[in-house]
């Protein structure tokens, strides 16, 4: 982890994800900014209410136990069994660290897509 903690804002997440092939943005459940690839979510950021700033993303099964036990992180509610992590204290982490985890999530979700869909994303 980088020493300069800062978390991630809505605009940071938008700037990051908008560059990736096939990534689409939506507001779901009235408060979550969600980015997906080919209709499959890879990151969610709570934008309102008591959980504002909470970032959730998918991780490799091998990373799940280590990350979910770190201070400021936990298994994501409703998706933890699918290897999703929720960053409950995003201010503990640098934007660069969070961005790396989000990119890893995008790559993981994209890798589950059919080869034809992946090729179409690369072509666009």
pLDDT in tens, 14-62: 999 999 999 999 999 999 999 999 999 999 999 999 999 999 999 999 9
Burial 69-107 (b: 16+ CB within 10 A, else e): eeebbbbbeebeeebbbbbbebebbbbebbbebbbbbbe
pLDDT at 80: 58
pLDDT in tens, 72-123: 999 998 775 789 999 999 999 998 999 999 999 999 999 999 999 999 998 8
Q: How far is CA 36 from the centre of its chain?
A: 9
Tokens at 54, concatenated: 């909470």
> What's this model's pTM, rounded to 2 decimal places?
0.91
- Integer CA distances (angstroms), 95 to 8, 61, 69, 85, 111, in order: 5, 23, 20, 16, 24
Model confidence at 5: pLDDT above 90: no
- What domains sit in the chain, N to C, each tagged with a CATH number? 10-113 (3.90.1150.30)
């Amino acid at each position: 982890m980088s020493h300069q903690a800062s978390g991630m804002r809505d605009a940071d997440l938008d700037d990051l994800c908008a560059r990736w092939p096939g990534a689409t943005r939506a507001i779901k459940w009235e408060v979550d900014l969600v980015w997906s690839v080919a209709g499959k979510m890879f990151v969610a950021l709570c934008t309102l209410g008591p959980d504002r700033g909470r970032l959730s993303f998918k991780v490799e099964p091998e990373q799940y136990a280590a990350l979910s036990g770190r201070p400021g992180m936990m298994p994501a509610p409703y998706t933890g069994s699918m290897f999703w992590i929720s960053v409950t204290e995003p201010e503990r982490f640098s934007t660069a660290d969070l961005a790396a985890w989000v990119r890893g999530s995008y790559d993981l979700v994209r890798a589950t897509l059919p080869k034809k869909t992946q090729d179409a994303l690369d072509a666009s």
